[in-house]
Amino acid sequence: MPPPAKSCDVRDMGALTSPLKFLDQDYQKLLQESLSRKELYTDELFPPNSCSIGNLSHKRNKIDYSQIVWKRPSELVTNPCFIVDGVSRFDYKQGHLGNCWFLASVGALTFQKDITKQVIPAEQSFSKNYAGIFHFKFWRFGEWIDVVIDDLLPTFNEKLVFVHPKTSNEFWPALLEKAYAKVCGSYADLDSGRRSESMLDFTGGVHLHFVLNEAPAYLWNIMKRAARAQSLMCCGTHKGEAHKHCPSNGIVGGHAYTVTGVSKVMSNSNPVKLVRVLNPWGRKEWTGDWSDQSPLWSTVSGTESKKCHEVLDNGEFWMSVEDFTKFFKSLDICCLSADFLDRSSGCHWKSQRCIGEWTENTAGGSIQTLETFCKNPQFRVRIEELNEACPHEDAENIVVSLIQNNKKRHRKEQKHYNIGFYVFEMKGEQVEGGQRKVFDCTNPVAECFAYQREVMKFLRLEPGEYLIVPCTENPGETASFVLSVFSKHETYFE
């Protein structure tokens, strides 16, 4: 079978402890050079001009982007700080940019202190060794990268244009947003996106997507376990203009939110399962049952009510899991490990990841073009006996994820092919006859396709040998990809 064009050895990738230098910029070297020259750093590769803003002429707001002035925090406040009393979901609110998908992920990030330290390196400040230079780490397509920025921020009428700090002298949210804008090409490249992109870029973990009207009955239990694990959780509403007037229940259409809590309370001796949600606008809240002003809180004991209930206009609110699945469209969970999916503490999911490439010789297209399909990179998976420590009756035991990377500098210019993968079960005689015989004689046991950066699917596979074939819809569509397999049983992947 054709091998993937790049090595499958994760050790070849940019590790978290030794990330790749984005655009070949070395943070420590640039910092020391600026300190020795006693000059504040200015980033030539993401300069303070219109190129870094990008094209936002379509935005309907009162900002004249030709009149933007780039200023350092010390020019805006007298005592700028990088972080004030730790990072919190209440430190910021969305600015004049449609990047609620990114800020919802930031809100989820603030709950996971270990992951926050990975993304936002410690010991950065506006006092000790300050030289106008900062850096952040992101996971991009199988590799960790270290991204350098200066602290010149776009302003209009003396106010920040994009994400706003709620504490006027706290600047980590604006600098994190700038670093991510640099990775994506410009601020305009952050305008609209999918929550899963930034969640994966913060963690490099396993991403799980649930369509809420098809979600399993035990979804709340999954969310409860995810909340205890190192997970980021975000959700989105049904399509609609994000800036339309909110409907009467306060939920904004076509908008991304952060899931910030999962709890159960006793209401008149009846258990009620609740989900807490945050609007990255920092305002506009749900007004139905279990909202801040809901009379249902009077049916809860004082101790429980005090623990959960706050009447604050901060964009955060509680609602029942039934209303959550009704008024929200989808839920994304991104975690370092998929262990939270199982009730058994003895069940540990394993992950394996490969970087591959569809080249002119290996971009064979979908199975509809069988004569070229067998040219695609192929990965053999062998699943050993199911782990008795893991509950497995009718439960999925494999998650397959495929991410495409078209390597365009600007995120908006990245053409997302219709990508996906097929999974074939390999019988003994088919293995001996070669992969073409598998494709000729066997229907795939699973497949998944979408016009997205990432496609993922839960699978239930019995012990045996399988072939995973990642591909684009049409032959000749070239790009690199990351294929990940997460399994709660002993699995061999090559």
The DSSP symbol for 174 reads H
Query: Which sequence spans correspond to the domains of the chain?
Result: 11-201, 206-334, 345-493
Question: Which pLDDT tens digits describe the chain residue by residue (494 residues)?
Answer: 343 344 444 444 478 889 999 999 999 999 999 999 999 999 999 999 999 999 988 877 778 888 999 999 999 999 999 999 999 999 999 999 999 999 999 999 999 999 999 999 988 999 999 999 999 999 999 899 999 999 999 999 999 999 999 999 999 999 999 999 999 999 999 998 899 999 999 999 999 999 999 988 889 999 999 998 889 999 999 986 444 445 679 999 999 999 999 999 999 989 999 999 999 998 899 999 999 999 999 999 888 888 888 888 899 999 999 999 999 999 999 998 888 887 666 678 888 889 999 999 999 999 998 889 999 999 999 988 766 666 655 578 889 999 998 777 888 888 889 999 999 998 765 544 445 566 767 789 999 999 999 999 988 888 889 999 999 999 999 999 999 999 887 777 77
Catalytic residue among 81, 96, 99, 100: 100
Catalytic residue among 96, 135, 209, 255: 255
Q: Does domain 345-493 have CATH number 3.30.420.40?
A: no
What gap in Å lies between CA 95 and CA 73, rounded to an integer?
17
> Are 2 and 375 a contacting pair, CB within 8 Å?
yes
Domain 206-334: CATH class, spelled out: alpha beta
Task: Report pLDDT for 117.
Answer: 94
| 100 is known as an active-site residue | yes
Go through the chain and tell me how many residues it has: 494
Task: Report pLDDT for 391.
Answer: 61
Secondary structure class of 83 (helix, strand, coil): coil
| 81 is known as an active-site residue | no
What gap in Å lies between CA 56 and CA 191, rounded to an integer?
9
Using a cut of 0.85, tell me whether the model's pTM lies above it. Answer: yes
What's the distance, Cα to Cα, between the start and end of the chain in Å?
A: 11
> Are 402 and 451 a contacting pair, CB within 8 Å?
no
Catalytic residue among 184, 207, 235, 279: 279
| 255 is known as an active-site residue | yes
What gap in Å lies between CA 325 and CA 323, rounded to an integer?
5
Helices (H), 59-112: 73-76, 100-109
Task: Report pLDDT for 22.
Answer: 96
Query: Could you tell me the two tokens for 194?
Result: 């999918």
